[in-house]
Structure 1
């Protein structure tokens, strides 16, 4: 990687030009956020029931007394030895945000199709604290287009990220994030979903690396990422509560 070395004055000129573009992007992000909030909602009619550490809970009960719910569709299928590397990378950024989310009327929960004991085993390995429930016996993952049956994959096309993609580019599980709102009458509404790289801005490590001299320094997307206990000389993780 080669960069010209210039005077401070030349650097300031180049930096101010980039700053103008950064401000343009910030204003565009604000506009996009407003458009996201203006999306219409869909009432959730199906009665989804999840396995949790406190027993069976409906989607409405996952809100835990708040009016907003963020669901992380975490790639951990039944029988998997470990969760998706990318999902695990994103999950490392959640625990520190929980207190802020919960005090701003937002509940965060991860949902996977793996049975609850398998979720607990991996959660304890990773040392995470956020709530993580199982949709093992529900259609939830399939209805929100993050899980696919063998029959769907065999057809050659699956519906993901709001379009049909080649099944060769898909797996039985794919990542995503969905948002829900519950009104005072207890009605639940689906307000937003994003898939693939759609939640990338939530990963703080990426945002820091984008400002580092070498950027993300990757040949393919996330080729350098490992589960946090798989890096060389990774610190030992203490097991968390289930």
Structure 2
């Protein structure tokens, strides 16, 4: 869109043609313009970028022919091409289960959070979080949970169910009255959950015992992990078992 002089008395609204971004994408990239390139070439003593390349790249490794690249696309053309590729995708019903289920995300959340560049491009240097937006999402999640439950504090969510299960296992170990090193795990937890528990338990000296819920009380364990519903979709009533486990401390 052409630049407008700040002294212009009447600000002209841009035309639809100017809003179409009909120029090539390369013109929208942040980088040196022609005048800046010419100035840099003058400093290094070369007349063109090709001359600079010839002086740097040895003849033995330089390709004699230019790359066979297609012509550049405008934004409209690029979006149309990407959309045509995306339209080839076929969405099938997933039967994998085991914690992987389709979800419906409200459009207001999708547009204002997940698709909002302010959330996913605000990189936090040297931090484990993918972006500043994700950190803000976590504090919003904690605030919402505190408001809904009436608790004074609420922990942030973890990245996945298996990680949460491992954290529960170690938390129970630190807080349990029992001196046992055995942790009982429902044999119908998701496979990825069980594998992560095994990985985390080994270096900590925790012994995993895997079995049915009915066997939970037979183990001299400091904690019990049950899945509800389990990985096969079964829904059980574990109230009596939970009461018995809690009574044992």
More contact order relative to length (CA 8 Å, sep ≥ 6): 1
Using the size of structure 1 for normalisation, the TM-score is: 0.26
Structure with greater helix percent: 2
Using the size of structure 2 for normalisation, the TM-score is: 0.25
Structure with greater strand percent: 1
